[in-house]
Structure 1
Amino acid sequence: MVQVLVGADSLNSLSWIDQRFPVDTSTSKKPETFSVTEDEAPSVQLTFPSVDSPRVSIVVPVYNQYATTISCLQAVLENTADVDYEVIIADDCSSDSTTRIADRVINARVVRHKKNQGFLGNCNAAVCQARGEFVLLLNNDTNPQQGWLTALLDTFDQHQRVGLVGPKLLFEDGLLQEAGGIIWRDGSGWNYGRGQSADAPEFNYVRDTDYISGACILFRKDVWDRIGGFDEQFRPAYYEDTDLAFEIRKLGLRTIYQPASEVVHFEGVSHGNDLNSGIKKQQRINQGVFRKKWRGELLTGNRDLGTDVFDARERYNSGTTVLFIDHYVPFYDKDAGSRSTFLYVKSMVDMGYRVKFLGANFFPHQPYTETLQQLGVEVLYGERFARNWKLWLDENGKSIDVIYLHRPHITEDFIDEIKSLENCPRLVYFGHDLHYLRTEREAAITDDNKLLKVAADWKKRETRIFDQVDIVLYPSDVEVKAVQEISPGTNVAQLPLYVLNAPDVDAFDFAARKDLLFVGGFTHTPNVDAVLWFAAEVMPQILFADPDIRLHVVGSNVPEAISNLASENIVVHGFVSDGELESLYRSVRVCVVPLRYGAGVKGKVLEAIESAVPLITTPIGAEGIPVPEQVMDIAEGAEEFASKLLGLYTDESRCVRQLAVRPGYVAKYFGAGVVRAAIEQHFACESQV
């Protein structure tokens, strides 16, 4: 169940937080590691898959430390699946049991040099032997965790212009070692998040970063070849990984931190920790080499030591940052409002905006939170943000350009605090629908005078919000006109509810389809009323004409009144997966949206348009849709609804005519270009890509 802090409850917000977050559970879980002693290591035998055409070449540079290497390889073998990979052990003239590693590690390729090359030279020589499209450099003092490689590879598929990807690096106790690296103007570096909880929200979303520590980095082999590998001037080691990230960025490609991939790094095993002795001393020397090579880039693209960490961690120097505030992370597969919010988040990310998301219940609902994080959205959740969101906004408000507020009952809990900021960002409000108008219509249908008082209260609350924001957005022209009437000075505009894909109208096979479909979440009372009314007033007329027709009812949070409708001709599915819903859309002949009251553009109507299924609805259902008669039938009252529905259901040519205009219609009114233009106009921000 979703609990949201609203209305009068907000007056006792600290009590609410105490109940919701009784214990601080932010400690990190200890990761799985493979402990292999020097005595045990020679008896361990590992067999890797034999792969003719690997997608990834995992290159493990080694110099002695046989037991450490075996531990690493055991973790790779145990925790890598669903990827065709090869392992290349790059032996830099070891003198211990590593000289016999080929006898104990089967199907791994061993590249051995005649003389010691040092870390940098060892890597350069070994990568030349790689057969994979991708190369992964992996220190031998690491233990990758389950699913690590798949998550890294998926980043290349899910994001644009990716050049290099690295994981979340953990200490053995589970605390964070690095969530990407920051390079400062003087060439020094920070392991962002070091020593903090690996589960904290700020370390768990995909983002650009200055560099990734070379303990584990994935890149395309052809990109490595274009650059020429690690720059030889950083021999024998240190800053070669940082330099590689900068070289990749010079090609117009991105270096990305991927938190879904986790790797334990036993820091200091390879080279120690003392900066004044051994090879670690080279780290200080190579900082100067790096600073000299990249002086111009550091001056223009990086910050002074320790400043503006909020922006520096993302290598964010220009563009638009938008903070979404809604009731909770969008349940994009359960209700129309959430789907709309999600599509706008995705559209803004695709346009190059930096997006932050605050759900008013501060709970990381899954898989929805991780979906946002994998898009590159920082989601603020947990007790720390529930108690300190205002402090977070005070500290970082100068980096936020727009706050995008949703729904009146959520907005009123945040807006006064937001308005008190020294530099208040642009405030954009999206009400989803006019609550007062929807409630007035419900009162008229149900003849409930108490609802008129509720509607009057909503009108007062919504009008107060209008007076406090820079622009008000609604999805229908009806609502825009209503706002202009009740609040003449308000800056109000229309925003498309959804971004729609072109419907595949050729997939509609009239003869192969049958039955009716209603889709809608049942926490929304107009949907409950619609199905009950249709079942009682319309369905009997349909069954009189054709007793074999069935109505499929789909939606989350089904109340008992709807469940009780289940019969031979009414199938109550409840919540279904996206795949199951798509299957229903492909099998039914007509979608019905028999709404008697409500306000705003209806998501279920747009989904039916996008899904290439003939549609019939009421004037309320069609409200706010541009020229709706082009793409749907509209009927009012039970008799007209039944008559038009039967006419549509039995007339193939009528169905085909309705569908034929939809691709052009969608492109004109709900296409990605239309939504992109609306965002640029109403958010007063230009696209970054």
Structure 2
Amino acid sequence: MMQLISLFQEAGYTITFASTASETEYSETLQHREITTRTILLNNASFDSFVTELNPSIVLFDRYITEEQFGWRVAENCPNALRILDTEDLHFLRKAREEAFKKNMEIDLFSETAKRELASIIRSDLSLIISEAEMTLLKDTFQIPLGILYYLPFLFEENSENVPSFQERQHFISIGNFLHAPNVDAVVFLKNDIWPKIKQQLPEAELHIYGAYAPKHILEMHNKKEGFIIKGWAENVKTVMEKAKVCLAPLRFGAGLKGKLLDAAINGTPAVTTSIGAEGMYTIAISREDVSAFVDASVPLYSQEKIWKEQQKEAFQVVAKHFKRENFSKDFIEKINRLQTQLKQHRQAHFMGQILQHQSLQATKFMSKWIEEKHKIKAE
């Protein structure tokens, strides 16, 4: 989100950040970036007045649930505003993988969440997709038109590669917000299955776990003797990442791009991850179930400088080739400008979005339910 805000500001846009969420100690200080912040309410007509008065030329929705809540209000009050959905990652894909993992069953993508999220994508003028793998899924499996999708990954400046050396680093690191279920599962997986085997071969090594909002059962895993250290929130990712020798990310479900792996790459910290973690990252991955392979990759990477340097170099090359900011920023703003000048034609070309905005799709259902409830009250 901060990268998107930066792109729009550089293009000359004035930003108003409206949210239903309360600020916390971990919140970005947007006011320092000349961004106006507003608190908005769910299911409240005050938003109609707010957005009408603001009269934005572009509205960016942070994930599909936000578009569900406010998209129709924007469409009614500011019909000429370009509506962009930032998917972050495909929630229905992440949820389907989590359910399949926990129930040990085949993945089922065709869920109620998929219906909701895909409807949100179709209603929006443009949806930002963070992973090429998810672009392919939307195009091939769900036949979503490419004209309303735009691939925009995490963006980074070119690496200076001026980072601490192999000898200047120590210990392993794992990092991730604990409000995100895949991160919680990864730490449990590390504690119970992976770390004891690594520690057995590298008795002096420690694993430092960083992340905000750690629940009680994660905090209770802290064990200095085992070298399993719960550090909590990291105020600066760069500071903790470039001190570590290897990043461990044994993600068993999830979607999108994994910010922790890109943070590791740009800070010169080689990483070991799973097939889920590596999706869209152009890197070698290990099967999510293969504990032995994960350990066998982690130990030599930590202990052998030659292997460590080779993987660090590959990671720098991946960032430069696939996530370099200047390769995307100009094209993105040009895409936005074209859509704004051709919005009517764009919506006509993708008329299904307007169909999904039509009130009659749900009006008969809810009128029937309202009458049903009315009859129940009379009967009582």
TM-score by shorter chain over 0.5: yes
Following superposition, the deviation at residue 504 of structure 1 comes to: 4.3
Structure 1 Cα separation of the partners of residues 27 and 44 of structure 2: 19
Following superposition, the deviation at residue 501 of structure 1 comes to: 3.2
The answer for the alignment partner of 1:468 in structure 2 is 123
Change (3 A) 1:413 1:467: same
Structure 2 Cα separation of the partners of residues 653 and 351 of structure 1: 43
Change (3 A) 1:593 1:585: same
Aligned-partner residue type, residue 298 of structure 2: L
Tell me if 1:667 matches 2:334.
Answer: no
Residues 530 and 593, structure 1, Cα contact 8 Å, conserved in 2:
yes
Structure 2 Cα separation of the partners of residues 635 and 367 of structure 1: 33
1:522-671 pair list within 5 angstroms: 522-568=178-224, 569-578=227-236, 581-625=237-281, 627-629=282-284, 634=286, 636=288, 637-671=290-324
Residues 472 and 490, structure 1, Cα contact 8 Å, conserved in 2:
no
Aligned-partner residue type, residue 196 of structure 2: P
Structure 1 Cα separation of the partners of residues 321 and 11 of structure 2: 19
Structure 2 Cα separation of the partners of residues 640 and 364 of structure 1: 42
The answer for the alignment partner of 2:30 in structure 1 is 372
Structure 1 Cα separation of the partners of residues 90 and 305 of structure 2: 37
Larger strand percent: 1
The answer for the alignment partner of 1:515 in structure 2 is 171
Q: What secondary structure does 1:404 align onto? A: strand
Q: Deviations over 1:28-70 (max 9, x none)?
A: xxxxxxxxxxxxxxxxxxxxxxxxxxxxxxxxxxxxxxxxxxx
Residues 553 and 571, structure 1, Cα contact 8 Å, conserved in 2:
yes
Residues 164 and 242, structure 2, Cα contact 8 Å, conserved in 1:
yes
RCO higher in structure (CA 8 A, sep ≥6): 2
Aligned-partner residue type, residue 684 of structure 1: N
Residues 558 and 574, structure 1, Cα contact 8 Å, conserved in 2:
yes
Structure 1 Cα separation of the partners of residues 181 and 121 of structure 2: 25
Aligned-partner residue type, residue 115 of structure 2: K
Following superposition, the deviation at residue 656 of structure 1 comes to: 1.1
The answer for the alignment partner of 2:332 in structure 1 is 679
Tell me if 1:345 matches 2:1.
Answer: no
Structure 2 Cα separation of the partners of residues 615 and 428 of structure 1: 33
1:45-194 pair list within 5 angstroms: none
Change (3 A) 1:601 1:664: same
Structure 2 Cα separation of the partners of residues 422 and 350 of structure 1: 24
Structure 2 Cα separation of the partners of residues 452 and 492 of structure 1: 24
Change (3 A) 1:681 1:619: farther
Structure 1 Cα separation of the partners of residues 216 and 78 of structure 2: 50
Larger helix percent: 2
Following superposition, the deviation at residue 368 of structure 1 comes to: 4.2
The answer for the alignment partner of 2:360 in structure 1 is none
1:244-643 pair list within 5 angstroms: 341-361=1-21, 363=22, 368=27, 371-381=29-39, 388-397=46-55, 400-421=56-77, 423-447=79-103, 456-484=111-139, 485-489=141-145, 491-568=147-224, 569-578=227-236, 581-625=237-281, 627-629=282-284, 634=286, 636=288, 637-643=290-296
Change (3 A) 1:678 1:429: farther
Q: Deviations over 1:97-156 (max 9, x none)?
A: xxxxxxxxxxxxxxxxxxxxxxxxxxxxxxxxxxxxxxxxxxxxxxxxxxxxxxxxxxxx
Change (3 A) 1:635 1:410: same
Change (3 A) 1:442 1:463: same
Residues 403 and 425, structure 1, Cα contact 8 Å, conserved in 2:
yes
Following superposition, the deviation at residue 487 of structure 1 comes to: 4.1
Change (3 A) 1:586 1:490: closer
Aligned-partner residue type, residue 474 of structure 1: I
Residues 503 and 662, structure 1, Cα contact 8 Å, conserved in 2:
no
Tell me the TM-score normalized by structure 1.
0.45
Structure 2 Cα separation of the partners of residues 635 and 514 of structure 1: 26
Following superposition, the deviation at residue 663 of structure 1 comes to: 4.2
Structure 2 Cα separation of the partners of residues 685 and 605 of structure 1: 33
Change (3 A) 1:608 1:386: farther
Residues 593 and 621, structure 1, Cα contact 8 Å, conserved in 2:
yes
Structure 1 Cα separation of the partners of residues 27 and 331 of structure 2: 25
Aligned-partner residue type, residue 300 of structure 2: G
Structure 1 Cα separation of the partners of residues 184 and 243 of structure 2: 24
1:5-16 pair list within 5 angstroms: none
Q: Which has the larger radius of gyration?
A: 1
Structure 1 Cα separation of the partners of residues 328 and 44 of structure 2: 32
Following superposition, the deviation at residue 541 of structure 1 comes to: 1.3
Aligned-partner residue type, residue 470 of structure 1: D
Structure 1 Cα separation of the partners of residues 311 and 277 of structure 2: 17
Q: Deviations over 1:136-194 (max 9, x none)?
A: xxxxxxxxxxxxxxxxxxxxxxxxxxxxxxxxxxxxxxxxxxxxxxxxxxxxxxxxxxx
- Length, aligned pairs only: 334
Structure 1 Cα separation of the partners of residues 148 and 298 of structure 2: 36
Residues 61 and 67, structure 2, Cα contact 8 Å, conserved in 1:
yes
Residues 593 and 616, structure 1, Cα contact 8 Å, conserved in 2:
yes
Q: What secondary structure does 1:395 align onto? A: helix
Residues 445 and 597, structure 1, Cα contact 8 Å, conserved in 2:
yes
Tell me the TM-score normalized by structure 2.
0.80
1:215-254 pair list within 5 angstroms: none
Q: What secondary structure does 1:518 align onto? A: strand
The answer for the alignment partner of 1:278 in structure 2 is none
Q: Deviations over 1:653-675 (max 9, x none)?
A: 11112222444443332222123
Residues 286 and 293, structure 2, Cα contact 8 Å, conserved in 1:
no
Following superposition, the deviation at residue 526 of structure 1 comes to: 0.5
Residues 159 and 316, structure 2, Cα contact 8 Å, conserved in 1:
yes
Q: What secondary structure does 2:79 align onto? A: coil
Residues 503 and 663, structure 1, Cα contact 8 Å, conserved in 2:
yes
Structure 2 Cα separation of the partners of residues 685 and 376 of structure 1: 26
The answer for the alignment partner of 1:4 in structure 2 is none
Following superposition, the deviation at residue 523 of structure 1 comes to: 0.5
Structure 2 Cα separation of the partners of residues 681 and 439 of structure 1: 33
Q: What secondary structure does 1:655 align onto? A: helix
Aligned-partner residue type, residue 309 of structure 2: V
Residues 501 and 610, structure 1, Cα contact 8 Å, conserved in 2:
no
Following superposition, the deviation at residue 592 of structure 1 comes to: 0.9
Structure 2 Cα separation of the partners of residues 673 and 491 of structure 1: 22
